[in-house]
Amino acid sequence: MFRWSVHLEGGPRRVNHAAVAVGHKVFSFGGYCSGEDYETLRQIDVHVFNTVSLRWMKLPPVRTLGHERAREVPYMRYGHTAVLLDDTIYLWGGRNDTEGACNVLYAFDVKSHRWFTPKVSGTVPGARDGHSSCVLKKAMYIFGGYEQLADCFSNDIHKLDTTEMVWSLINAMGTPARWRDFHSATIIGTKMFVFGGRADRFGRFHSNNEFYCNKIKVFDTETNCWQSTASILPLPDGRRSHSAFSYNGELYIFGGYNARLERHFNDLWKFNPETVSWNEIEPKGKGPCPRRRQCCCMVGDRIILFGGTSPCPEQGMGDEFNLMDHSDLYILDFKPNLKTLCKIAVIQYSLEHSGLPHDIRWELAAMTTNSNISRPIFSSHG
- CB-based contacts of 234: which residues, under 8 Å, 6+ apart? 278, 279, 280
- Please tell me the predicted confidence (pLDDT) of residue 39: 76
- CB-based contacts of 172: which residues, under 8 Å, 6+ apart? 157, 219, 224, 225, 226
Q: Which amino acid is at 24?
A: H
**Angstrom distances, CA of residue 358 to CA of 26, 101, 352:** 36, 50, 8
- Please tell me the predicted confidence (pLDDT) of residue 23: 97
Is-cis flag, bond preceding 311, omega within 30? no
pLDDT tens for the chain, 382 residues: list them: 799 999 999 999 999 999 999 999 999 999 999 888 777 889 999 999 999 999 999 999 988 766 555 689 999 999 999 999 999 999 999 999 889 999 999 999 999 999 999 999 999 999 999 999 999 999 999 999 999 999 999 999 999 999 999 999 999 999 999 999 999 999 999 999 999 999 999 999 999 899 999 999 999 999 999 998 887 889 999 999 999 999 999 999 999 999 999 999 999 999 999 999 999 999 999 999 999 999 999 999 999 999 999 998 765 555 556 899 999 999 999 987 755 555 545 545 554 566 665 444 444 444 444 544 434 456 544 4
Task: Give, to the nearest 10 degrees, the angle between helix 338-352 and helix 358-369.
Answer: 160
Q: Beta strand pairing status for 277-281 and 18-22?
A: unpaired
CA distance 328 to 379: 15
- CB-based contacts of 371: which residues, under 8 Å, 6+ apart? 5, 6, 7, 8, 54, 331
Q: Beta strand pairing status for 115-116 and 106-109?
A: antiparallel
- Please tell me the predicted confidence (pLDDT) of residue 196: 98
- Please tell me the predicted confidence (pLDDT) of residue 363: 47
